[in-house]
Structure 1
């Protein structure tokens, strides 16, 4: 059984913390004694979520804006102390074929999923290096180790997060600052609404991702895949000849899971929000 006592008192910042994996993680880490700061572009929801759970700090955060990110981290350190852990969780997943994806949406995915992670990591590491300690945990996806029709730009963004995090892990080896990637399968959050998981791959609960993150804080390692079954399948398929791997993906239903089989009505509100249609 994992001893989580070392989490008590740590200052943890979570982006995209108003809902889903971010909120589940904040809730779990708070229960383990961490000081929690959540930020989210959705100011109303982040303040409602933060107030309802009594988090230490909760406010609007635009991860694509340097001034917003820097001032948020400044406020965290002013009120809670030096940041021990930054969890770059903010991300969006619009679905559909590439040729139907407006350039505005393409840029939005890359700005949030890639630039937001790079910016947050850069700002956090600059604070952590002089102290000789700290941890950056980037929420990637099993989509970052495979290719799923209907998620071309999203896949690209998560491949980027994995490559970026692995590079930082080596670039800052022996500095006391640790870097990890979390690779969830399809998870039961609004992001996964209207999507049916491929065969053999049950959707993860957000609390499972939160538990994996808590374990990473206690015992850092480069990557953790959730669920274990989905992670093992993704790794095995990645080692197979391309034609065989693609055949297995089609047999499991991955070919259409994010295209023809999406429940567009169930997903309508999420797609409108992340595409910026509701702003």
Structure 2
């Protein structure tokens, strides 16, 4: 895979796993993260250039893309992966958390997409991949902010895809289920279900780059279930949610186990 691929939020978790998988396929990967020290460490481990990027800042994002192209050449793929997940009762979520969640998860994706389009459309080629979530189409108590932000990412990605589809640039969304990263610290997995691993999401991204399409659900089987579930009556959907414990996962969690993550995303 002889492509130059820049990834935000790639110092850890899904972003780092994706960078590692793409590097193994022969791509030139550029690491970007707001945590500059972690970005440099990740870059060193992969032998990849790494730069700081605050996705909420146009100046920072522009500088990241410019440095990426200076170091590796024209960007073929931008993966907007940076995101945070505050959880808990909606009445307990602060205004500051709400603003920061949307600044990073939504406006960060919008900004990255617009800046990448500015580079790619004149070239007539490129691919933008926005990491959304199944939380954008499946709504869970205790996850209202994140649900809303990822629903916005899915809608924005699809509308943008339709707008530029005849101009040589692909725009795609990836919708992972619960994945074993810091985002789910202190929570339980749904009853009878296993969380995905970051490498599962990375594999889906690699496949999506090789064969572009509008959307990829991870794991694939959940895509069919979501479509069927949307046709069911509300009482059936809620009963299913209770059966798997989805009505409590993000309300009855261990705050101590999330303490480090919560402190980092609010810093």
CA–CA distance in 2 between the matches of 1:128 and 1:184? 26
Q: Paired residue for 2:34, among 24, 35, 41?
A: 41
What is the correspondence of 1:183-262 to structure 2 with a 5 Å cutoff?
183-260=175-252, 262=253
Residue of structure 2 equivalent to 1:101: 93
The answer to whether the 8 Å contact 1:17/1:39 transfers is yes
Provide the residue aligned with 2:256 in structure 1.
Answer: 265
What is the aligned-residue RMSD (CA, Å)?
A: 1.1
Contact 2:31 2:42 in 1 (8 A): no
Query: Equivalent of 2:25, from 28, 32, 38?
Result: 32
Contact preservation (8 Å) 1:28, 1:211: yes
TM-score, with normalisation over the residues of structure 1? 0.93
Deviation at residue 234 of structure 1 after TM alignment: 2.5
Question: What residue is the counterpart of 2:123 in the other structure?
Answer: 131
> CA shift at 1:235, angstroms?
2.6
Aligned equivalents of 2:222, 2:249: Cα separation in 1? 15
Deviations 1:200-222 (A, max 9, x none): 43100100100000000000111
Deviation at 1:48, TM superposition (A): 1.1
Provide the C-alpha distance between the structure 1 equivalents of 2:266 and 2:223, rounded to a whole number of angstroms. Answer: 29
Q: Tell me the equivalent position of 1:90.
A: 82
Greater than 4 Å deviation, 4+ residue runs:
none
Task: Quote the offset at 1:275 in angstroms.
Answer: 2.2
State the alpha-carbon separation in 1 of the partners of residues 14 and 207 from structure 2: 15
Aligned to 2:258, what secondary structure does the other structure show? helix
Residues 147-199 of structure 1: per-residue CA shift (max 9 Å, x gap): 11111011000000000011011111211100111000110111111211212
Provide structure 2 residue ranges, at least 5 long, that are not aligned to the other structure. none
Does the Cα contact within 8 Å between 2:51 and 2:67 map onto a contact in 1?
A: no
| Corresponding pairs, count | 267
> Matches of 2:51 and 2:160 in 1, distance apart?
28
Hey, what's the Cα distance between the residues in 2 that align with 1:232 and 1:71?
A: 40
Residue pair 2:106, 2:152 contacting (<8 A) in 1 also: yes
Contact 2:5–2:78, Cα closer than 8 Å, also in 1: yes
Equivalent position to 1:10, from 3, 21, 29? 3
